[in-house]
A and B are shown apart, each in its own frame.
Chain A
Amino acid sequence: MADLLIAQGLDKVYGSGDTATLALKGVSFEFAAGEFASIIGQSGSGKSTLLNLLGLLDSPSAGVVTYQGRDAGSLSKEQRASLRNGLIGFVFQFHYLLPEFSVFENITMPSLIAGTRVDADLRRRVDETLGLLGLDGLAQKNANALSGGQKQRVAIARAIINRPALILADEPTGNLDTTNTDAVYDLFRSINEETGTAFLIVTHDRNVAQRTDRVLEVLDGQLVQDVRNSYESSSESSLESFESSSESSLESSSFESSLESS
């Protein structure tokens, strides 16, 4: 599969002189379109730093990030912002929703930033995504009026609405319990299989990492392991299970309540 992203010799140094801290050192790997991978490592190992570099939120001290053959380092800030908007969706540990806006407005924000008009097609996509995430009927609610689990799902909806080539998720389930965590990963997997969106998920949880196709392990700022799992997605496509769950009130409600309780 064609390379979506190439990281070459990424260094990241914070501070300077005696206080300089090397957060990342010589990280190189290639990442294909449609991959479903995780980055694991201890707290402070540099995995979030790596994700921020890959997400073009931060610039490396040395090394190159290449997206679809374009060297991100050679782009202006505005061009990088535009690349982020069109190519990458973010899901963070904290939802980072805009509290002044409704669920619908939060979800469509990346499209609006891209200059897309809110038309029937976008509305349909929002409706579908809300349905997929068990958020039916919440479109017009203020983002602040949602529970923690609902907010995180809205954040996921926002990340996928523009149909990005890559979703970067930084501890997306860090604030959720085990049941909710499973639900979110199943959802990621189903989106990956359904839409071909690549996922790169930062986690410190090896159990979560084992459920991805590829695990990149970061230790003390260095990429120490890059292994491929023989993980098979749960019995059937999780997307289908979500969709069918809307028909099965029992499953649907258990998914809802499990996320609500987070």
Chain B
Amino acid sequence: MLQLKIAARFLRSSRAQTALIIAGIAVGIAVQIFVGSLITSLQANLVDQTVGGSTQVTITALEDGDPVSYTSDIREALEAEERIAPDAIAPVRTLSALFDNPDGDSASLNLKAGNLVEIDPITNLTARTVEGVASLEDGEIMVGTDFAEKYGLTPGDDLDLIFAGNRTVNLQVSGIFDLGSAAVNERQAFIAPELARDLLGWADNEFSAIETRLDDPFDSAAVTESLRGELDGVTVVDWQEQNADLLTALQSQASSSYMIQAFVLIAVALGIASTLAISAVQKTRQIGILKAMGMGDRAAGRIFLFQAAILGVGGSLAGLVLGWLLIWSFSFVPVSFSITIQPGFAALSAGIGIVVALVSSIIPTRSTSRLDPIEVIQGG
């Protein structure tokens, strides 16, 4: 392709200019990839911290405090819902208790009671057990790291809990977990389902809530809506409704990142457009000569389209490498989350870089098409 060869030769003849604009595009695309990946990772991390280890769509009774009957209707509806992660359906009972601290102040605890095999796919309790073993047999309790530390508890220790009606129950610590939040680690504890059933005076199939976790937390609105249509006499709770503030914050963060990315792209586009415009002026004479020799208007215009394509592809590839380096170097920065490069997003950024370059070539391509060879020949 002659035009491609001419385009490459034109770019090579002004190496410094070409190198600068490729560097400019590369920095733009790298920032694009870095900011995009940073925001995506940060949001994924925040969402994971907020709902990763907890229920996302929850079924409760219509009235607060009443038990919900785990009927076969509910079971079938939940099991038929494909967006729920495998086995991530857990009927649980929740209640509060007062820890009777023999050495000082008492502390209140939120207890969640369920079968470990059912709770695990949602809370990941076994994997998060840092001391002792994950076990919720009758008479056992699992407490958080902060609680254990505060009261000097280790696995195998006994503790007394006082329940409503001044009923005291002695339980043995089987394991100590770390769910990633100090508040949860201090206030939350897990016990066996039977104990909670007896304490609450409920039937075998009565629970405080049926908890579920989804493959994609952001499917919760759709899943909630579908379950609400199928199930009567229960309340279906969506985590997104419960965390509207957080989601608004995430959305604002995403919007501001889109703004940054859009402006970066505009800067890249202006850079390429101005470089190509300058190149078109610098090469007016050559274009005039080529046209005098019989090169058509469209063919001559394509030279700058190819220049843009070379700059776009070169700059975007360099941007991918630079972006990857930026993300890699970020792994040495001590923050609570890591940035993972999003291959799809990186490819999209590079693609956008190339498209922006091609669009930027419109003006020089047009002016080149319009150039009359006589303007050059007469001008000497």
* A contacts, CB < 8 Å to B: 48, 52, 55, 57-58, 77-78, 81-86, 90, 92-94, 96-101, 109-110, 112-114, 158
> 5 closest pairs, A vs B, by CB?
A85-B294, A100-B9, A100-B13, A84-B294, A78-B296
What are 20 A-B contacts defined by CB distance under 8 Å? A48-B378, A52-B378, A57-B377, A77-B296, A77-B297, A78-B298, A81-B291, A84-B293, A90-B293, A94-B380, A96-B289, A96-B377, A97-B289, A100-B9, A109-B290, A110-B293, A110-B294, A113-B294, A114-B294, A158-B293
Q: In the complex the two chains form, is A98's CB within 8 Å of B289's CB?
A: yes
Q: Which chain A residues lie closer than 8 Å to B13 at the CB level?
A: 99-100
User: Does residue B278 face the partner (Cβ distance < 8 Å to A)?
Assistant: no
User: Does residue B292 face the partner (Cβ distance < 8 Å to A)?
Assistant: yes
Known: A84-B292, A90-B292, A112-B2. A78 touches B12 (CB 8 A): no
Q: Which chain A residues lie closer than 8 Å to B10 at the CB level?
A: 100
Q: Which chain B residues lie closer than 8 Å to A99 at the CB level?
A: 13, 286
In angstroms, Cα B372 to Cα A55, docked, is: 13
Closest to A170 in B: B377
Q: Could you say which interface size class chain B belongs to? A: 20 to 34
Considering only residues 1-19 of chain B, those with a C-beta below 8 Å from chain A are 2, 6, 9-10, 12-13
In angstroms, Cα B6 to Cα A52, docked, is: 26
In angstroms, Cα B292 to Cα A158, docked, is: 12
Q: Which chain A residues lie closer than 8 Å to B296 at the CB level?
A: 77-78, 81-82
Q: Chain A's nearest CB lies how many Å from the CB of B227?
A: 65
Q: Chain A's nearest CB lies how many Å from the CB of B62?
A: 77
In angstroms, Cα B295 to Cα A83, docked, is: 10
Known: A78-B296, A81-B297, A101-B9. A57 touches B374 (CB 8 A): yes
In angstroms, Cα B378 to Cα A100, docked, is: 22
In angstroms, Cα B300 to Cα A109, docked, is: 13
Q: Chain A's nearest CB lies how many Å from the CB of B377?
A: 6
Q: Chain A's nearest CB lies how many Å from the CB of B211?
A: 70
Q: Chain A's nearest CB lies how many Å from the CB of B32?
A: 32
Q: Chain A's nearest CB lies how many Å from the CB of B164?
A: 89
